[in-house]
Amino acid sequence: MHVAIVSYPLPAHVPGPHALIERFYALRDWAEALAAAGARVTVVQRFYDDTAMQIGSVRYQFVRDGRRQLPRTWHIPRRLHRAVAAVGPDVAHLQGQIFPLQARALRAALPPRVALVVQHHAGDPPAPHGLRGAAHLALARLGLAAADGFLFTSTELARPWRAAGIIRPHQPVYPVLEASTTLRAPARVPVRLTGEPALLWVGRLHPVKDPLTVLEGLARALPQLPGARLTMIYGSEELLGAVQRRIAQPDLAGRVALLGRLPQCQLPDYYAAADLFVLGSHREGGGFALIEALACGLPPVITDIPAFRAVTGGAVGAHWPPGDAEACARAIVAVARRNLDREREAARDRFERVLSWEAVGRAAYAAYADLVRRVCASP
């Protein structure tokens, strides 16, 4: 089976195709995992110049088709679509559901027996509020009707899209993780985190991640876990001021360390040094940080949302309702009182069986194969 992975995003100021592949490491690792599962894989990527290369098991075709980081809503990258058709795939995998008009044009550029699958990368369906919202919803319905199937981290995440009439009853949704990680815990941990237990947050300080509820949960857990401390690693600072004000209050004074952004290569040291991973997300498309934590054997205390349920499978850690600080506190205390060595082993086992790139590659291959059978069987 030959799979063409179609990628429109184009980062600014990348010096060459190798740098782009390094920037898009999840795309690279997805392609390699799929090749390891038995597929022939070609990545067709917008770029500043036309070029092609073979890296590992994957063929890369770079196509000059516009210089914007993302195509405009109405822009059709026809040169790129012709390149996709020219490689002769059995499946065209479009990265992202935010390109409905382009998806419809890509479908028109492909032979009828080529299956078109669209992968969800976070985000909700357009809300039908006002003329602008109604127009976006109508465009999503029109454009994504061209897909033969969809990949979502969990089928639960697809329900709003079905309810909005964007995903039709005849279009299958396959539960395949958005991505995985190559991170692993180091054999020797050079970082020391204070706290009994030592809690770790890795995520943006953004309302959708809800760090303030996690901080309130920590404060409420302290009477039962007086030695607990939280270390926060974050890449964006939308709520930094509010977080700083909260941790300066007497009940959390000296209990929280704000580290800010760290290089990706340093994260395994912190995952391995912590006792619990905490996050308060109200929604996620995949949960990269949670997957990294499990890969490093770190038990999670995270919100009860579809993506996180799909990642943990209820096999490790604990879930709590988003925005509920009291429930967050109870979950922290409950997991902290378990046998953490067994929890760490369960986290690593869950990752290796279900969440690793090898597992993602097998799941994606099975989804593609089923979709090809459906398309070939259709009249």
Q: What is the pLDDT of residue 379?
A: 61
State the CB neighbour count (10 A cutoff) for residue 26: 17
Residue whose token pair is 């939280």 = 230
Question: Would you give per-residue pLDDT tens digits along the chain (379 residues)?
Answer: 999 999 999 988 888 899 999 989 999 999 999 999 999 999 999 999 999 999 999 999 999 988 888 888 889 999 999 999 999 999 999 999 999 999 999 999 999 999 999 999 888 898 888 888 888 999 999 999 999 999 999 999 999 999 999 999 999 999 999 999 999 999 888 889 999 999 999 999 999 999 999 999 999 999 999 999 999 999 999 999 999 999 999 999 999 999 999 998 899 999 999 999 999 999 998 889 999 999 999 999 999 999 999 999 988 999 999 999 999 999 999 999 999 999 999 999 999 999 999 999 999 999 999 999 988 876 6
**Parallel, antiparallel or unpaired: strands 51-55 and 318-320:** unpaired
Burial zone of 241 (CB within 10 Å; 0-12 exposed, 13-18 middle, 19+ buried):
exposed
Rounded to two decimals, what is the model's pTM? 0.91
Domains of the chain (ranges, CATH numbers):
2-180+358-377 (3.40.50.2000), 198-355 (3.40.50.2000)
